Amino acid sequence: MATDIRIDYYPTHEHEGIKFRRGHALPFGATMVPNGINFSIYSSAAISCTLVLFERGEDAPFAEIPFPEEFRTGNVYSMIVFDLDYERLEYGYRMDGPFKPEEGHRFDKSVILCDPYAKAIGGRDTWLATPNWDDVYPYRSRLVFEDFDWENDHALETPIEDLVIYEMHVRGFTQHPSSGVKNPGTFAAIRSKIAYLKELGINCVELMPIYEFDEWENSRENPATGGLIVNFWGYSTVNFFSPKAGFAATGKFGMQVDELKTLIKELHKHGIEVMLDVVFNHTAEGDHRGHTISFRGIDNKTYYMLTPEGYYFNFSGTGNTLNCNNPVVRNMVLDCLRYWAADYHIDGFRFDLAAILGRDQNGAPLSNPPLLESLAYDPILAKCKLIAEAWDAGGLYQVGSFPAYGRWAEWNGKYRDALRKYLKGDEGMVGEMVQRIQGSPDLYYYRGPTASINFISCHDGFTLYDIFAYNEKHNEANGENNNDGGNDNHSWNCGVEGETDDPEINRLRHKQIKNALTLLMVSQGVPMILSGDEMATTKGGNNNTYCHDNELNWVDWSLLEPKQDIFHFAQRITKFRRAHPVLRSATHFEHRDYVGSGYPDISFHGTQAWQCDHSESSRCLAFMLDGAHAKRGTILDDTIYVAANMYWDALYYELPVLPEGKKWHLAVNTDMPSGQDIFEIGKEPMIEDQQRFLVGPRATIILIGK
């Protein structure tokens, strides 16, 4: 009823039949208000701004309304426009101002600009549907509704040490024809696989970028294969507040927000947290040769780190670097994460190339980066997990030294490298392994083991199978003459490069995968596995598959049958970790008995009990976790003994003596064939010889004292 409308929601101006009035400077973005929409946008250097309105999908705008000068407050333009069909509306801006790159300004009023605070983007609604290349406004800002019915859902707030993270790509997870789902490659399809994720035993999914990006960015024909190279991984953000429409089966109806929220709600119902891999280090606009989509045309100098000559610093390796410690950009990042935490119930964030977030506006590392501090102390993000990829492409490597403020965890790249080297039998690794399996106290002494996200494989690099099938990368399919991708893979092909029919080599590869999974799951810290590793997927030795929308990145579900020994092992070792709190300490070990059990919380061993061999040629590592010290003595767990033998011959390991009445039981022996390699929890057989155990060549065992 018109009489119910507040007096400040009546129009005062009219432009070509469209009614409007002065708007509210905050919040930024487009917000529904009674009978209208409030538009608000910031630019520090524009001399004028025009709101551009489209009917959804139309080639030409139906209105362009210049902001009257009196509608500007400081550097913020705001206006309320009345009687718009907000479901059919797409909007953008034209900004007028100087084009003086040497001064940092690149205004171009001929370009229609996407709103940095848009909550949905149109234009790439269906994955790889050919866009209209002549579109005057290819990435179109849209509004979303805030009426999703969450019922009683909220973020799960699982203690981080209890998580088993599963890194996945939304499309890659179900796009393969073998996935057997109804809407492959979408948020909806992941819902169909929740039972599988539960069966595997993980309790957190980390979604590779789902902010709106353009899969067509830098797309080209692959000279090596003739296929199309696209931006598959999505580490190139068009808009930070919008979910990728092309990942939604309902994207073509503009309902990607509902579909994603439904997925999160369903995962939460099953006890699975949702973490987002977020990319705030750069945008899709590239360097000075790139397209102007949004930030560059709105306020280039604010949003990007620029050289004194006005070019783009490139600490991200992708052309530009977001100016994260500019106060305005810092607020945008904060607003964005708050929005995802509050409106999407996201449980945590993993920050891509996060070291960039700690650089000042000239690129120098800050000792107390305001953005990282703000995120750590933010009240809305207070329970969210914050995880840094603690390095960048500009050479800043902060694993172990990332500014943490008591909150931040890190992808532990040193854990990955040490585990790979140890598993392939490198010399001199036992000393470092002692640190890594304890949650890397050498790196995180004051932060605790929960600062360490442990992983051996991730999207970037070899799959777990390929670590044991390739000595070298094989990236020819990327069309860059095998020059892209890292060369420090620390991998070993077990005797033959790539696929082989040799049963002994294949048996060894499977054993090595089981060794890797075992050591990952018994390490203190937070384990993360790469989607598909549980069924030994291969990328054919390609360690940089960012550009492939094909089998190289699609999880091949048909492998579940031939690789069922790996899947069963992954499933059981994951459940083993979750069943034993002594494996999931929130604090570092003290190497002493502080509960009076007669045993230290952790002790290290070798082929002789109580004597860990740290010598250069040693490849033997054993350790015992005293169950009486689980969770600092608050929970009574079994005692767990792990022995890894990365020597090429079997070796006897003398076992520590258990307290009177307890016996060693065999939980895991990776040297044994499937069916005898890992036992169900509670059904571990007692071993005959309680004094010593013959650990096979390149094998790992777990014994339980109970």
How far is residue 440's CA from residue 434's CA, in Å, rounded to a whole number? 8
Nearest to 670 by CA among 556, 560, 522: 522
- Name the β-bridge partners of 411: 453
CB-CB contact of 136 with 60 (8 Å): yes
250 binds other proteins (CB under 8 A): yes
- Name the β-bridge partners of 89: 55
How far is residue 155's CA from residue 145's CA, in Å, rounded to a whole number? 20
Find the shortest distance in angstroms from Cβ 247 to other proteins. 12
How far is residue 607's CA from residue 652's CA, in Å, rounded to a whole number? 6
Query: What is the H or E stretch that residue 62 is in?
Result: none
Query: What is the H or E stretch that residue 514 is in?
Result: helix 503-522
- Nearer to other proteins among residue 179 and residue 186 (C-beta): 186
- Name the β-bridge partners of 22: 79
Q: What is the DSSP string of 555-624?
A: --GGGGTTTHHHHHHHHHHHHHHHH-GGG--SS---SS-SSSSSS-SEEEE-SBTTB---STT--EEEEE
4 binds other proteins (CB under 8 A): no
| Choices 95-103, 146-154, 312-320, 431-439; region in contact with other proteins by CB under 8 A | 146-154
How far is residue 176's CA from residue 537's CA, in Å, rounded to a whole number? 12
Tell me how many residues contact other proteins (CB under 8 A): 25
- Nearer to other proteins among residue 259 and residue 626 (C-beta): 259
How far is residue 529's CA from residue 534's CA, in Å, rounded to a whole number? 8
Four-point Cα dihedral 672, 676, 679, 684, nearest 10: -100
Find the shortest distance in angstroms from Cβ 268 to other proteins. 12
Structure tokens at 594: 């502080």
Instruction: Give the residue, chosen from 255, 393, 636, 658, that forms a contact with other proteins under the rule CB under 8 A.
Output: 255
Instruction: Give the residue, chosen from 172, 201, 254, 363, that forms a contact with other proteins under the rule CB under 8 A.
Output: 254
Find the shortest distance in angstroms from Cβ 244 to other proteins. 15
How far is residue 42's CA from residue 97's CA, in Å, rounded to a whole number? 13
| Choices 33-41, 258-266, 408-416, 482-490; region in contact with other proteins by CB under 8 A | 258-266
Structure tokens at 569: 């092992």
- Nearer to other proteins among residue 265 and residue 509 (C-beta): 265
Binders of other proteins among 453-472, rule CB under 8 A? Answer: none
Binders of other proteins among 106-125, rule CB under 8 A? Answer: none
- Nearer to other proteins among residue 139 and residue 148 (C-beta): 148
How far is residue 104's CA from residue 308's CA, in Å, rounded to a whole number? 9
115, 352, 549, 677: the catalytic one is 352
| Choices 18-26, 262-270, 273-281, 639-647; region in contact with other proteins by CB under 8 A | 262-270
CA 457 to chain centre: 13
- Nearer to other proteins among residue 249 and residue 386 (C-beta): 249
Find the shortest distance in angstroms from Cβ 19 to other proteins. 18
Find the shortest distance in angstroms from Cβ 121 to other proteins. 15
- Nearer to other proteins among residue 31 and residue 314 (C-beta): 31
Find the shortest distance in angstroms from Cβ 500 to other proteins. 43
3-state SS of 440-484 is CHHHHCCCCHHHEEEECCCCCCCCHHHHCCCCCCCCHHHCCCCCC
Q: What is the DSSP string of 115-135?
A: -TT-SEEES--STTPPP-TT-
Find the shortest distance in angstroms from Cβ 56 to other proteins. 10
85 binds other proteins (CB under 8 A): yes
CB-CB contact of 292 with 214 (8 Å): no
Nearest to 382 by CA among 412, 405, 400, 414: 405
CA atoms within 13 A on the CB side of 354: 26
Question: Active site includes 389?
Answer: yes
Instruction: Give the residue, chosen from 62, 99, 145, 445, that forms a contact with other proteins under the rule CB under 8 A.
Output: 145
Find the shortest distance in angstroms from Cβ 255 to other proteins. 5
| Choices 27-35, 169-177, 245-253, 571-579; region in contact with other proteins by CB under 8 A | 245-253
- Nearer to other proteins among residue 32 and residue 508 (C-beta): 32
Find the shortest distance in angstroms from Cβ 33 to other proteins. 17
147 binds other proteins (CB under 8 A): yes
87 binds other proteins (CB under 8 A): yes
| Choices 261-269, 301-309, 440-448, 533-541; region in contact with other proteins by CB under 8 A | 261-269
How far is residue 280's CA from residue 415's CA, in Å, rounded to a whole number? 25
Q: What is the DSSP letter of 489?
A: -
Question: Active site includes 352?
Answer: yes
| Choices 256-264, 489-497, 598-606, 692-700; region in contact with other proteins by CB under 8 A | 256-264
| Choices 86-94, 467-475, 566-574, 632-640; region in contact with other proteins by CB under 8 A | 86-94
| Choices 19-27, 141-149, 158-166, 372-380; region in contact with other proteins by CB under 8 A | 141-149
265 binds other proteins (CB under 8 A): yes
| Choices 247-255, 304-312, 525-533, 586-594; region in contact with other proteins by CB under 8 A | 247-255
258, 273, 389, 432: the catalytic one is 389
Instruction: Give the residue, chosen from 45, 80, 249, 513, that forms a contact with other proteins under the rule CB under 8 A.
Output: 249
How far is residue 165's CA from residue 331's CA, in Å, rounded to a whole number? 29
Indicate the pairing of strand 228-229 with strand 220-221. Answer: antiparallel
Instruction: Give the residue, chosen from 108, 217, 266, 484, that forms a contact with other proteins under the rule CB under 8 A.
Output: 266
How far is residue 218's CA from residue 519's CA, in Å, rounded to a whole number? 39
Instruction: Give the residue, chosen from 37, 53, 208, 248, that forms a contact with other proteins under the rule CB under 8 A.
Output: 248
Find the shortest distance in angstroms from Cβ 640 to other proteins. 41
183 binds other proteins (CB under 8 A): yes
262 binds other proteins (CB under 8 A): yes
Binders of other proteins among 184-243, rule CB under 8 A? Answer: 186, 188, 191
How far is residue 644's CA from residue 51's CA, in Å, rounded to a whole number? 65
Q: Other C-beta atoms within 10 Å of 400: how many?
A: 19
Find the shortest distance in angstroms from Cβ 249 to other proteins. 5
Nearest to 604 by CA among 427, 382, 436: 436
Find the shortest distance in angstroms from Cβ 219 to other proteins. 27
Greatest CA separation for the chain? 91
How far is residue 54's CA from residue 123's CA, in Å, rounded to a whole number? 12
Find the shortest distance in angstroms from Cβ 186 to other proteins. 8
How far is residue 121's CA from residue 242's CA, in Å, rounded to a whole number? 6
- Nearer to other proteins among residue 261 and residue 359 (C-beta): 261
How far is the CA of 472 from the CAs of 502, 530, 541, 623, in angstroms? 20, 20, 7, 33
CA 71 to chain centre: 41
Active-site residues, by number, are 352, 389
Would you tell me which residues interact with other proteins (CB under 8 A)? 85-88, 145, 147-149, 183, 186, 188, 191, 248-250, 253-255, 258-259, 261-263, 265-266
